[in-house]
Amino acid sequence: MRGKVRRLCAVGTAIVVALVSTGCTALLPPADGSNAVLTAWAISAGGEEELMPRAAESYERRTGQPIQLQFFQNDPYKNKLWVSMGSGNPPDAIFGWGGGPLKTFVDAGKIVDLAPRMREDPQWRERFLPSVMGPVDEGGHTYGVPIGSIQPVVLFYNKDVFDAVGLQPPRTWQQLTAAVPRLQQAGYIPISLGGADSWTYLMWEEALVDRVAGPEAFQAVLDGRPGAWLNPDIVRANQMLQDLVQQGAFGDSFTSTSAELNQQTALVTSGRAAMTLHLGSAYPTMLEDAPDFVRGGRLGWLPFPAVEGGRGDPANLFGNPATYMSATTGPRQDAAVDFLRHEVSSPEYSEGTIARGEVPPVVGIENRLRTAENSDWLLFVYDLAKNAPHFQQSWDQALAPGPAQNLLTNLQKLFLGQLTPEEFSSEMEESPR
């Protein structure tokens, strides 16, 4: 699951932006391995395209060295990055989500371990909320720093709809399922779901498996333990999901509703649906698409409901703890690390994130968030992340690309009733890891 607005989805031609100075125009790392130009690649959606050029200008003023940036849509970026890594000529700093894909590069010796520098400069590591560092930490090593905003999965709801039906927002699974028939009888879609985009099913899977089975269940999957997918608690969680679908909680048209085209959130802001489960990036989407609705205080939000008798802490989070920048190994790796330390990790970069209406994953910014526009939302997100015992990275980023795609395919079948919960677990257990 991705960041701002549309999951950082590829929606058109790749956008390429170069920041050049001192007459340097090449967009690829110099073939001769010279230290003349530092290169960095990132995604064109979200805040990076706005904030990284400012960071690059700061780097050039501070060091006197040129830096070049390139921005791509999501899929072209991934493809180009894999090719560049395989060719041995990658950019010096790369954007990513951590997790499985980053581990592949780490195992190949392509990514710089930042932990030694952070031990020398402990304030660097201590700047970030501990809960967001999991996707780039491994065995005492650190392979990236947060660059994007905190994006937990949140249950959004239309306050007008709940008031009209006489319901309180659900804080437990029992309350959620009990609200479904009352909302249906009143003529509302209980929960909007953008099932045309299969990653939306994953938010429900992550949330309910965590609440029922606890984070240890998916960690066992990541660790490659035999039988991990066959965990009875995972089967139970998926039975609860199928029951919710069969109850009609998502309406009759969820398979043709798109999250990436903002149809999922529009159902809530228009009053046709009562709730939706989405990344925090849905908030700026709804603010842009329905400003009167959001600014009028008609949008509410809650953590995912607790499950009675479940193993997972109700304060656990799932989604995107952040996005990250890493330094690649090579002749300019020291300069890349310097860029990450002094520009990407700077207070100025965090301030730019706040100014965009998003929450950077850094410590001690409560007072600043209180003075920001939409402070109630920003503080809600910040407090969730600050207090989370566990913040699970989206499974499609934590897993390697092949297993992640297999998971999305089987989840779609689970929601459509083409696999039973037991068959889902068997399919995942038997699939390559």
Tokens of residue 249, six digits? 């909680």
> Sorting pLDDT into bands at 50, 70 and 90, what band is 431?
confident
> Sorting pLDDT into bands at 50, 70 and 90, what band is 7?
very low
Beta bridge partners of 70: 41
Do 421 and 123 touch, CB atoms closer than 8 A?
A: no
Beta bridge partners of 326: 94
Domain ranges across the chain: 4-149+321-363, 151-318+394-430
Q: What span, in angstroms and rounded, lies between the C-alpha atoms of 7 and 15? A: 16
SS3 90: coil
Residue 376: count of CB within 10 angstroms of its CB:
10
Selection from 422, 389, 7 nearest residue 211 by Cα:
389
SS3 159: helix
Q: What is the pLDDT of residue 432?
A: 78
Q: What is the pLDDT of residue 163?
A: 98
Whether the pLDDT of residue 242 is over 90: the answer is yes
Q: What is the pLDDT of residue 34?
A: 46
59 versus 48: the higher-pLDDT residue is 59
Note the pLDDT tens digit of each residue in 168-193. Answer: 999 999 999 999 999 999 999 999 99
Q: Length of the chain, please?
A: 433
- Longest CA span, the chain: 69
> Rounded to the nearest 5°, which phi and psi values hold at 258?
-105, 130
158 versus 26: the higher-pLDDT residue is 158
Note the pLDDT tens digit of each residue in 335-368. Answer: 999 999 999 999 999 999 998 888 999 999 999 9
Query: Topology of domain 151-318+394-430, per CATH?
Result: D-Maltodextrin-Binding Protein; domain 2 (3.40.190)
Q: How far from chain centre, in Å, is Cα 68?
A: 26
The DSSP line for 164-221 is HHT-PPP-BHHHHHHHHHHHHHTT-EEEE--BTSTHHHHHHHHHHHHHHH-HHHHHHH
> Sorting pLDDT into bands at 50, 70 and 90, what band is 74?
confident
Alpha helices in 214-341 (DSSP H): 215-222, 232-246, 263-269, 282-289, 291-295, 333-339
Orientation of helix 232-246 relative to helix 401-415, angle to 10°: 50
111 Cβ contact partners less than 8 Å away, ≥ 6 residues apart: 102, 105, 143, 144, 326, 327, 328, 329
Beta bridge partners of 319: 152, 393
Which amino acid is located at 382 in the chain? Y
Q: What is the chain's percent helix, strand, coil content, to nearest 5?
A: 50, 15, 35
Which amino acid is located at 377 in the chain? W
Q: Kindly tell me the sign of the dihedral angle through the C-alpha atoms of 396, 192, 231, 425.
A: negative
Tokens of residue 146, six digits? 């947060």
Whether the pLDDT of residue 110 is over 90: the answer is yes
Note the pLDDT tens digit of each residue in 263-283. Answer: 999 999 999 999 999 999 899
Residue 426: count of CB within 10 angstroms of its CB:
16
Q: What is the pLDDT of residue 43?
A: 85
> Sorting pLDDT into bands at 50, 70 and 90, what band is 291?
very high
Q: Is the pTM above the cut of 0.75?
A: yes
> Sorting pLDDT into bands at 50, 70 and 90, what band is 429?
very high
87 Cβ contact partners less than 8 Å away, ≥ 6 residues apart: none
Q: What span, in angstroms and rounded, lies between the C-alpha atoms of 94 and 98? A: 11
Please report which helix (H) or strand (E) contains residue 407, including its range: helix 401-415
Across 384-410, average pLDDT: 92
Q: What is the pLDDT of residue 357?
A: 82
> Sorting pLDDT into bands at 50, 70 and 90, what band is 45?
low
Across 394-402, average pLDDT: 89
Please give the mean pLDDT across all residues of the chain: 90
CATH class of the domain whose range is 4-149+321-363: alpha beta
Q: What is the pLDDT of residue 21?
A: 30
Selection from 40, 39, 45 nearest residue 15 by Cα:
45
Q: What is the pLDDT of residue 386?
A: 93
* Fold match between domain 4-149+321-363 and domain 151-318+394-430: yes
Terminal Cα-to-Cα distance of the chain (whole angstroms): 19
Whether the pLDDT of residue 33 is over 50: the answer is no
Q: What is the pLDDT of residue 9?
A: 31
Tokens of residue 353, six digits? 């994130």
Do 35 and 332 touch, CB atoms closer than 8 A?
A: yes
For residues 172-206, b (16+ Cβ closer than 10 Å) or e, as one string?
ebeebbebbeebbeeebbbbbbbbbbbbbbbbbbb
Do 152 and 317 touch, CB atoms closer than 8 A?
A: yes
Q: What is the pLDDT of residue 271?
A: 98
Q: What is the pLDDT of residue 29?
A: 41
Do 1 and 397 touch, CB atoms closer than 8 A?
A: yes
Note the pLDDT tens digit of each residue in 248-262. Answer: 999 999 999 999 899
Q: What span, in angstroms and rounded, lies between the C-alpha atoms of 301 and 307? A: 18
> Sorting pLDDT into bands at 50, 70 and 90, what band is 403?
very high
Q: What is the pLDDT of residue 401?
A: 83
Whether the pLDDT of residue 24 is over 80: the answer is no
